[in-house]
Amino acid sequence: MCTLYKITTSASAIREAFKAKETDFNPNIEKSSFYPKSKAPIVISENGDLNIRLAKWGIPPPPNVNAPIVNVRNLNSPFWRPLLNNPNKRCLVPVNTFCEWYGEVGSKKQAWFSLKEQEIFAFAGIYDVYEGERKMAFLTCEPNEIVGKYHPKAMPVILDKDNYGKWLEDEDFHLTEIAVPYPTGSMNIVI
């Protein structure tokens, strides 16, 4: 389960990469690491424009779970349907690298992953406003070969650039089209 990622590009590079019109995050967010409960930039569609907004990482859980949910694994759960099926509740989560922990408890190590031909990319995310605060989580899927060596259960859903608009706007966009492992050959690993 991915619980750490980084943005190492400038705020202006993020804005340019996603063709965002507005942003409400501080440019000092550059070179930041994001953990659950931290505020991170997300890209959302508002009135036909893409804008970058801040959201706290972790959506309030169903009654039988104690911690905020940061990774959405069961895409068929009725708990997630209202957000997944509503384009107005979908977002892009900008990322340069993400981490999967591996090894024995007490001596865990980090494996970092990036894309070969894209400095900044996006996870498929969902968000909503809870008690006046925007909160987000991102989708996961089966891991590809490179991520699976370190985390055999899941990896974040990485969107191809061509699917950014579909994910944010298409009501008929099926999850099965995007909830697939990103091609192994298009990724790098730095341990």
Cβ-based neighbours of 191, under 8 Å, separated by 6 or more: 109, 110, 111, 112
Q: pTM of the prediction?
A: 0.94
Q: What is the average pLDDT across 176-191?
A: 91
Question: Region 120-147: what's the mean pLDDT?
Answer: 97
Four-way CATH pick for 5-190: 3.90.1680.10, 3.30.465.10, 1.10.10.10, 3.40.1260.10: 3.90.1680.10
Answer yes or no: are the C-beta atoms of 42 and 165 closer than 8 Å. no
Task: Domain ranges for the chain, please list them.
Answer: 5-190
2-35 per-position pLDDT tens digit: 999 999 888 888 889 999 987 776 655 555 899 9
The string of pLDDT tens digits covering residues 26-78 is 655 555 899 999 999 999 999 889 999 999 999 999 888 889 999 999 998 99
